[in-house]
Structure 1
Amino acid sequence: MTNTDNDTPVDDAPTPENAAAEADATEAPEGANDEAARLAEQVAAVQQDLLYARAETQNVRRRAEKEVADAHAYAATKFARDILSIADNLGRALAALSDEQRADEAIKPLVTGLEATERELMSVFERHGITRIASVGLPLDPNQHQAMLEIPSDKDPGTIVQEMQAGYMMKDRLLRPAMVAVAKAAE
């Protein structure tokens, strides 16, 4: 065949050299596309890993902040549990005093001191978020009360009729359940 523009013969038939050159030209872009696709996959995987790492770091930070806040809020839990026995003994000492003993001028200063000590102890409890659990007259709550016995009563079954030992909460955590007697139907 001839080229009409400049009358030089043009061979349209593929020669082995032309075929190899054309194959290299088509393979090079395919190889480059494969490489680009592989690199794009790696970039996507690295980006996904980075997102997961950031999320995990944020979760670890939040968990650590919560643990620090809980540690501050509940640091005195063990100490508070230990002090509860002192509050119990002080309450028992005051409950053991009869009206005659309270009126006796010889021990009136002692009674006044015990009452002042109990008020101060309850004030300290209040400042640190330690509250007494209400019991008598309420229905039994197994999250706050520990039923020690059942007593025949005219009250509704499951109602607390007697508190044997006071229970306490520290903020929203149970320090010690109240030990109670619960009403049961009279037979």
Structure 2
Amino acid sequence: MIENEDRYENEAEDIRRETAQGAPEVAEHDRVAEFERQLEEANSKALYAAAEIQNVRRRLETEKQQAGLYATTQFARDMLAIKDHLERALNAVSEELRNDKVASNFLAGIESTARELDQVFTRHGVTRIEAMGEPLDPNKHQAMMEIPSADAEPGSIVQEMQPGYMLKDRLLRPALVGVAKKPD
């Protein structure tokens, strides 16, 4: 900017000298017009630069907010693996083992841990995606297979192989599902 101002001042000084030496008025008028055009162009560039700086500030502020909201994404994904293992362990326990006194105390601890994990997920905005009976949504579900079914609407979910989860409004992990199709 300072270079441009110095250049414009030098050109203005040249114009004054030419005028003092009796240069034709047409040449002076052309130089003044050119000087005004360059000044207007410099002002325009300065306004565009200021607008660009403001846009960059807004964009950075938005990215900063997003980073704060979703900073726990990878940690939440890792914790989902632990939740899956807990659920598989609980589902694998037979009814006979549940009736055993020692095993039932052990299972109560595992169930308590699973409940606590669910509460932590809820506090931090991690929610399970509803899948069973819902129509397939490619933004939330990943179809793993088609299952012939006379009872279910084609394209609806009839089996959930792995639950899906959202972190606030973002997909954390899609639900792995089986989708109904018309029987052959």
Distance 1:28 1:99 in 2: 109
Aligned residues: 164
Which residue in 2 is equivalent to 1:168? 165
- Deviations along 1:57-81, whole A, 9 cap, x unmatched? 1111111111111111111111111
Q: Normalising by structure 2, what TM-score?
A: 0.82
1:101 shift after superposition: 2.8
The runs of 5 or more residues in structure 2 that have no matched partner are 1-19
Distance 1:36 1:162 in 2: 80
Percentage of pairs with the same residue: 54
Distance 2:112 2:106 in 1: 10
1:28 shift after superposition: 4.1
Amino acid at match of 2:61: E
- Deviations along 1:31-69, whole A, 9 cap, x unmatched? 332222112111110111011101111111111111111
SS at match of 1:140: coil
Amino acid at match of 2:85: N
Q: Which has the higher helix share?
A: 2
Higher alpha-carbon Rg: 1
1:108 corresponds to 2:104: yes
1:32 alignment partner, one of 28, 31, 40:
28
Which residue in 2 is equivalent to 1:124? 120
1:27 shift after superposition: 5.3
2:144 alignment partner, one of 141, 148, 153:
148
The runs of 5 or more residues in structure 1 that have no matched partner are 1-23
1:86 corresponds to 2:82: yes
1:25 shift after superposition: 10
RMSD: 1.9
Q: Normalising by structure 1, what TM-score?
A: 0.81
Distance 1:150 1:103 in 2: 38
Distance 1:64 1:102 in 2: 55
Distance 1:111 1:40 in 2: 84
Q: Runs of at least 4 residues of structure 1 off by over 3 A?
A: 24-29
1:145 shift after superposition: 0.6
Which residue in 1 is equivalent to 2:65? 69
Which residue in 2 is equivalent to 1:157? 154
Deviates more, 1:133-142 or 1:72-81: 72-81
